[in-house]
Amino acid sequence: MTAKSAINLALGLLALLPSTAVVAQQVCLPAPRLLTVMPMGGQIGSSVEVQITGESIEDVSELLFSTPKITAKPVTGPDGKPLENKFLVAIAPDAPVGVYDARVISRLGISSARAFSTSHLPEQTREKANISVETAMKLPVNSICNATMTKRAVDYYYFSGVKGQRIAVDCAAVGIDSKLTPVVIIADAQGRDIVLNRTGGVLYFTPTADGTYLVKVHGLTFSGGPEHFYRLALVAAPGDELITRQPATPLVSSMSWPPVNLAASAQTKETEPNNQQIQAQKITLPCDIAGSFYPAADVDTYEFTAKKGEAWWVEVASERLGLNTDAFVLVQRVTKDGEKETLTDIAELNDIASPMKVSSNGYSYDGPPYNAGSPDVLGKFEIKEDGTYRLQVRDLFGGTRNEPGNVYRLIVRQAAPDFTLAAWAVHMTLRNGDRAALSKPVALRAGASMAMEVVVVRRDGFDGEIELFMEGLPSGVSTSGLKIAKGKSYGHMIISAASDAKPAHSVAKIFGRAIINGNTVTHPCRVASMEWPVRDAKQEIPSPRLMADMPVSVSDSEKAPVTIAPNENKIWEAKSGDILKIPLKLTWRDEFTGTGIGLRTYGTGFEGMKEFEIPLKSSKHEVVLDLGALKTPPGNYTIAFYGSAVSRYRYNPAAVAEAELAQKKAEEEEEALAATAKKLAEEAAKAPTDKKSEAANAAKIAAEKQKQAEAATAEAAKRMKTVSNTATPQDTVDIIVSEPIHISIKDTPTKTAAVTPKK
Partner 1 sequence: MDPKQPLLPTAFIALMAMFYSALVGFAAEASRPLNFVNDVVPILTKSSCNSGGCHAKAVTGQRGFRLSLLGFEPEEDYEHIVKEGKGRRIFRPAPEQSLFLLKAANIVPHGGGKKLDPDSEGYRTIVNWIAQGLPYGFTNDPQLVSIEVSPNRLSMKAKTEQQLKVIARYSDGSDRNVTHLALYEPNDKSMAETSENGLIKTSDIPGYVAVMVRYAGKVSVASVSIPLGAPVDRLPTAKNFIDQHVFANLKQIGIPPSPVCDDTTFLRRVSLDIAGRLPTTEETQSFLTSTEPKKRDLVIEALLNSPDYADYFANKWTALLKNKRDDKADITANFAFHAWMRDSLLANKRYDEIVRQILGATGTIVANPAVAWYKRVKEPTQQLEDVAQLFLGVRMQCAQCHHHPFERWSQQDYYSLSAFFSQVGRKPTAIADEDLIYHKRGIAQTENKKTHLPVKPAGLGQPTLDIPPDEDPRLKLADWMSEKSNPFFAKSLVNRYWKHFFKRGLIEPEDDIRDTNPATNPELLDALAQHFIESGFDLKAVIRAITQSQTYQLSAFPNEHNAIDNQNFSHYYPKRMQAEVLLDAIDQLTGAKSDFADLPAGTRAISLPDNSYNRASPFLKVFGRPEGESVCECERVQTSSLAQSLHLMNASDVKAKLTASNGRAERLVKEDKTESQRIREIYLAAFSREPAPEEVRIAENYLSQPRTDAQGKPLDSQRAIRQGYEDLLWAIINTKEFLYNH
Show the site string, 490-529: x = touches partner 1 by CB under 8 A, - = not: ----------------------------------------
Q: Helix, strand, or coil here: 84?
A: strand
Strands of the sheet with 193-197, listed across from one edge: 137-138, 155-161, 211-219, 182-187, 193-197
Q: Which is nearer to partner 1, 396 or 672 (CB)?
A: 396
Nearest to 438 by CA among 452, 425, 454, 420: 425
Residue 152 binds partner 1 (CB under 8 A): yes
Residue list 433-492, contact with partner 1 (CB under 8 A): none
Question: Does residue 421 contact residue 454 with C-beta atoms inside 8 Å?
Answer: yes
Q: How far is the CB of 41 from partner 1 (least distance, A)?
A: 23
Q: Which residues pair with 479 in a beta bridge?
A: 495
Residue 333 binds partner 1 (CB under 8 A): no
Q: Which is nearer to partner 1, 538 or 679 (CB)?
A: 538
- Alpha helix stretches (DSSP H) within 512-611: none
- Which of the 8 DSSP states describes residue 410? E
Q: Which is nearer to partner 1, 277 or 730 (CB)?
A: 277
Question: Does residue 114 contact residue 140 with C-beta atoms inside 8 Å?
Answer: no
Q: Dihedrals φ, ψ of 64, to 5°? A: -115, 155
Choice from 73, 198, 308, 486 touching partner 1 (CB under 8 A): 198
Rounded Cα–Cα distance for residues 232 and 157 (Å): 10
Choice from 328, 408, 419, 606 touching partner 1 (CB under 8 A): 328
Binding part of the chain for partner 1, among 355-363, 414-422, 490-498, 523-531 by CB under 8 A, reads 355-363
Q: Helix, strand, or coil here: 709?
A: helix
Q: Helix, strand, or coil here: 295?
A: coil
Q: How far is the CB of 254 from partner 1 (least distance, A)?
A: 17
Residue list 532-591, contact with partner 1 (CB under 8 A): 537-539, 541-542
Q: How far is the CB of 541 from partner 1 (least distance, A)?
A: 5
What is the end-to-end Cα distance of the chain in Å, rounded? 74
Choice from 36, 392, 529, 632 touching partner 1 (CB under 8 A): 392
Q: How far is the CB of 231 from partner 1 (least distance, A)?
A: 19
Choice from 21, 195, 579, 657 touching partner 1 (CB under 8 A): 195
Q: Which is nearer to partner 1, 195 or 657 (CB)?
A: 195
Residue 299 binds partner 1 (CB under 8 A): yes
Q: Which is nearer to partner 1, 175 or 447 (CB)?
A: 175
Rounded Cα–Cα distance for residues 447 and 560 (Å): 5
Q: How far is the CB of 347 from partner 1 (least distance, A)?
A: 12
Residue 222 binds partner 1 (CB under 8 A): yes
Residues of 173-198 as b/e, b for ≥16 C-beta within 10 angstroms?
Answer: bbbbbbbbbbbbbbbbeeeeeeeebe
Residue 722 binds partner 1 (CB under 8 A): no
Rounded Cα–Cα distance for residues 429 and 652 (Å): 26
Residue 153 binds partner 1 (CB under 8 A): yes
How far are the Cα atoms of 40, 133, 595, 657, 740 from residue 154, in angstroms, in the given order?
20, 10, 55, 47, 53
Choice from 39, 54, 98, 200 touching partner 1 (CB under 8 A): 200
Strands of the sheet with 407-413, listed across from one edge: 268-269, 287-292, 407-413, 311-317, 377-382
Binding part of the chain for partner 1, among 242-250, 322-330, 376-384, 688-696 by CB under 8 A, reads 322-330
Rounded Cα–Cα distance for residues 549 and 117 (Å): 15
Say if strands 33-38 and 47-55 run parallel, antiparallel, or are unpaired.
Answer: antiparallel
Q: Which is nearer to partner 1, 165 or 350 (CB)?
A: 350
List % helix, strand, coil for the chain (3-state, nearest 5).
15, 45, 40
Question: Does residue 609 contact residue 582 with C-beta atoms inside 8 Å?
Answer: no
Q: Dihedrals φ, ψ of 616, to 5°? A: -65, 150
Name the CA dihedral angle for 45, 46, 51, 53, rounded to a multiple of 10 degrees.
-10
Q: How far is the CB of 152 from partner 1 (least distance, A)?
A: 5
How far are the Cα atoms of 123, 252, 388 from residue 467, in angstroms, in the given order?
46, 22, 42
Q: Which is nearer to partner 1, 276 or 595 (CB)?
A: 276
Residue 199 binds partner 1 (CB under 8 A): yes
Residue 154 binds partner 1 (CB under 8 A): yes
Choice from 9, 396, 515, 701 touching partner 1 (CB under 8 A): 396
Peptide bond into 140 cis (omega under 30): no
Rounded Cα–Cα distance for residues 498 and 494 (Å): 13
Residue 394 binds partner 1 (CB under 8 A): yes
Q: Which is nearer to partner 1, 246 or 354 (CB)?
A: 354
Rounded Cα–Cα distance for residues 444 and 503 (Å): 10
Q: Which is nearer to partner 1, 301 or 647 (CB)?
A: 301
Q: How far is the CB of 360 from partner 1 (least distance, A)?
A: 7
Q: Which is nearer to partner 1, 79 or 345 (CB)?
A: 345
Rounded Cα–Cα distance for residues 643 and 621 (Å): 15
Q: Which is nearer to partner 1, 115 or 329 (CB)?
A: 329
Q: Which is nearer to partner 1, 123 or 395 (CB)?
A: 395
Q: Which residues pair with 692 in a beta bridge?
A: none
Show the site string, 201-220: x = touches partner 1 by CB under 8 A, - = not: -----------------x-x
Choice from 20, 276, 400, 756 touching partner 1 (CB under 8 A): 400
Choice from 101, 298, 326, 558 touching partner 1 (CB under 8 A): 326
Residue list 54-113, contact with partner 1 (CB under 8 A): none
| 174 phi-psi bin (left φ>0, alpha ψ -120 to 50, beta other) | alpha
Hey, which bits of 136-274 come out as E strands?
Answer: 137-138, 143-148, 155-161, 167-172, 182-187, 193-197, 203-205, 211-219, 229-236, 268-269
Q: How far is the CB of 280 from partner 1 (least distance, A)?
A: 14
Q: Which is nearer to partner 1, 8 or 132 (CB)?
A: 132
Rounded Cα–Cα distance for residues 480 and 715 (Å): 47
Residue list 596-635, contact with partner 1 (CB under 8 A): none
Q: Which is nearer to partner 1, 64 or 331 (CB)?
A: 331
Q: How far is the CB of 539 from partner 1 (least distance, A)?
A: 7
Q: Which is nearer to partner 1, 297 or 687 (CB)?
A: 297
Count residues contacting partner 1 (CB under 8 A)?
42
Residue 381 binds partner 1 (CB under 8 A): no
Rounded Cα–Cα distance for residues 304 and 286 (Å): 10
Binding part of the chain for partner 1, among 152-160, 308-316, 443-451, 618-626 by CB under 8 A, reads 152-160
Contact residues for partner 1 (CB under 8 A)? 131, 152-154, 181, 183, 192-193, 195-196, 198-200, 218, 220-223, 297, 299, 324, 326, 328, 330, 348, 360-362, 369, 392, 394, 396-401, 537-539, 541-542
